[in-house]
Amino acid sequence: MIMTIFKQKMKFFRLFIIIIFGIFGSFQQASSQIRREEEKDSVIWKMAETFTKYFNESDTAGMNLILSNDFMIQWMHESFLGRKNLFKAMLDTAFHPSFQFKLVQDANTVILYSDDHSAVCINASLILLNPVMASSLQSKNGYGECIMYFKDVSGNWMLKTVHLDLHCGLCGF
């Protein structure tokens, strides 16, 4: 009888240990997956910042490294299909300086992955670098928004689409 009770306690103890290790293993696996996602988020955000830097500097050579051939940018009501059309617009000194911007990573920034993790979308705020446009937007409580869509192409992230928009009910855009 004592031996039977001892065996039952040992079975319970083994089961308890297995459950504890199972829970610990699940937490460890979940935390490592979260770390991998954070690292991926960091890479994607750095690419978004790199695009912004290249765009503001009119660095077409640098942009060639991260943009796909069928890249599209849409700024308000202007759309530029393909890298070459974007690069032509960037060389237009009357057009380009008014559209330079800086991304803002804040509480409103969202990075979403597709179910199969082959595509990523960033939704972030932006600040205009042109002081006249920036102050006009701020004085009317407006804000800028940037949506970037990345696609995994053969193991490399490529920027496919950028949508830049200003939201301001009082200023007409």
Q: 52 Cβ partners below 8 Å, 6+ apart?
A: 101, 102, 103
Angle at 99 between CA 62 and CA 104, to 5 degrees: 75
What the chain holds in terms of domains, given with CATH numbers, is 40-167 (3.10.450.50)
The tens-digit pLDDT sequence of the chain (173 residues) is 565 665 666 676 676 666 766 666 555 555 555 556 666 677 888 888 988 898 888 888 888 888 877 888 787 666 666 677 777 776 666 666 777 888 888 888 888 888 888 899 999 988 888 888 888 788 877 788 889 998 888 888 888 888 888 877 554 54
This prediction has a pTM of 0.67
**Residue type, position 172, single letter:** G
